[in-house]
Amino acid sequence: MKEEVRRLYLKAGDQVMHLRYPEWGFGIVIEERNSEVLGGMSYVKITFRDGRTRVFDNNFANSCCCYYAGVRRCSE
């Protein structure tokens, strides 16, 4: 059986901001989900200060990763 290696960017509890949407305010990663199916998706759920919860791809090896979309971890 082939093993897949995912490079995950965020984990639960990380504080983030979105470079393209600063009006959303800071966000907190509240959930991380990783498919157990080979080639499956990895997601993070982030609640922002504007009160909305948004879901992003979390696989750093994927061009759709939230990092490439503008989500950045905030230094503590």
Tell me the whole-structure pTM to 2 decimals. 0.88
pLDDT at 25: 95
User: Which residues are bridge partners to 42 per DSSP?
Assistant: 34
How far is it, in rounded angstroms, from Cα 6 to Cα 25?
Answer: 28
| Ranges of the chain whose pLDDT falls below 70 | 1-5, 76
Give the pLDDT of residue 76.
58
- The C-alpha atoms of residue 24 and residue 51 are separated, in whole angstroms, by 8
Structural tokens at position 20: 């393209």
pLDDT in the model for residue 39: 79
